[in-house]
Structures are given as C-alpha cells and as structure tokens.
Amino acid sequence: MKDSKQKINGWLILDKPQGMGSTDAVNLTRRMFNASKNGHAGTLDPFATGVLPIAFGEATKIIPFVTDGDKIYEFTLKFGTSTNTDDLEGAVIQTGGHIPSKEDILSVLPFFLGNIVQIPPAYCAVKINGERAYKLAREGTSFEVPSRNVFIQSLEFIKQISDDLFCFKVACSKGTYIRALGRDIALKLNTFGHLTALRRTKCGFFSIDDTILLENLKNIVYEGCRQDSLLPVQTPLRDIAALALSVEDAVKLRLGQGLSVKKYALQQNVGQTMAAYLGDCLTALVRIDENKISPIRVFNFE
C-alpha cells in the first residue's frame, strides 16, 4: 500500500503549552501535518512552556545544530519549600525555610556564573544503568545522578512577585537544568526552593518571536495552509558561512564524494563547518579539512 504521508521539510517553532511533553508535541504535529518524519530539538519538560523547535523531513538532519546552541529561560522560584521534583508538580519534602531578601538573592547570583557543576534533579531523563532516572525515582529505587559541567552566561533577577516568589532570567549552555539551578540558589541562601514556572524564550537560533501557539495551529483547517507556518530548513544555518557550488560539485557532494579545498580557496577555513548551496538550494553541510571538503550531511529535496 502506498504511504499517504507527506514529505514535508522545514521547522515548526512551537510555543509548547504546559502539561505536554516534547515527544507528545512531536507526535501531535506529525499527525496535524500528515508528515512522514519529524523530531524535536532541545527537550522541554511537561512543566515548562516556550520555544520547542520541531524539525520536519530534511530539517531533522541539522537538529544537533539547534540542540547544541545556547538557551534562554525565564523562571519563577518559590522560597521556603522544596519538592522531590524541584518544581510545583512534585511532592513537598521540606517546609519552613526562611525567605531571603532581594539583597541576599543578588549577593549569591554571581556564584552561579561561568562554568559550574550541577547535579540534575532525581526526576530527570538521565539514564542510570540503562534506566531513566525519573522511572527509578518513581519506583523508589535508591540511586545517584552524576554531576555535569554546564556554563551560565548570565543570570538576572527580574522582579519579586510576592513575599516568597521571585522571577529570574538565565542564558545557559546545552544540558543545564533550570530546576537544579533554582534549587541550588535556594541552598546557597541556606533555605529551600522549587520552581513554580519555567519558560524557554530562546533555543539556539530560534526565539519566542518565531513561535506559533498550538491552538492557532489547530485553527488552521487545511494541511497545506499549515505548511505556511514552517520556516525553511536552512534557517538555523544563517550564521554559518556559505559555500556556492557548481552543478558538477553539487552532484559529487550528494554522492558522498569530497571536493578540493584549493579549488575553492578555503585553506583559511580549515576546521570549519560550512553550508554548501547550489543556487538557493541547500546541498550539504561540509567540513573543511586540509586537503578536502567533506560532506557531513547531504540534503535531498524532492
């Protein structure tokens, strides 16, 4: 039987609603677009909202370029109480912690800048001996989540909402757990804390301005019109140097063959990744070696 799924290429930047997992968002949008293939870049917990890039078709080949990019989050931290998930969806495990002043909070934020070591929350997707940590935590199994090194570019105090609720903004590297960051800020202040809100406003190249609400997407009746919501496959590659190809060399790259560095005078670009185009059509991502231009990812648009 002929596959009725459509070969759709591009990026859907979803403003993910709270309560929906990233995989659920991928599965739902695949059905909405009747698409043959899609996947997400940069997981968001069901608790979190905001920028979730979803790649369709050929765009899935450059998911790592988005996933590896820096992220920006806004989060609300409640002091005085901690939970077993470090957010409001978990069970309360500690209460009665003191509420720090704004001045005290500002005094500890510099300790979380630059390269820091984090221990992810027990309820996370890290694998422990082949099992997800959150599964082991739900089963009551005793385990330790390994620490990880992350980079915090900036951490800003935004405002105080109430006596115990404070808002922050953080720019950070891939792999940073904001729930753990909130927990650790509270611990640094000799109290307890957990997140009550978390919103991602930037993921790699994409920002909140690029997003579409799920409800707005649902209100678009026709699949063809929904495709107008997609950004081009090459969108997150706009900051990568471009290489203009001849027709002959475009064919070679698509066949997995290398090209001469000297022919394109790229001796100064050794070690770089470039986006190779035939006209306006993305042909491949290439690596510039000393003697050869080697294809990393090859794109096939039908």
Phi then psi for 58, rounded to 5 degrees?
A: -65, -25
Known catalytic membership, residue 45: yes
The answer to whether 52 and 14 are in contact (CB under 8 A) is yes
* DSSP secondary structure of 136-180: HHHHT----PPPEEEEEEEEEEEEE-SSSEEEEEEEE-TT--HHH
Catalytic pick among 15, 45, 86, 184? 45
Hey, which residues does 302 pair with through a beta bridge?
none
d(CA 243, CA 246) in angstroms, rounded, equals 10
d(CA 81, CA 186) in angstroms, rounded, equals 10
For 13, the token pair is: 């930047």
Beta carbons within 8 Å of 226's beta carbon, 6+ residues apart: 32, 33, 217, 220
The contacts found for 104-108 with CB under 8 angstroms, 24 or more apart, are 104/189, 105/157, 105/166, 105/185, 105/189, 106/157, 108/185, 108/188, 108/189
d(CA 74, CA 207) in angstroms, rounded, equals 13
For 260, the token pair is: 């001469």
| DSSP letter, residue 291 | S
Residues classed as catalytic? 45
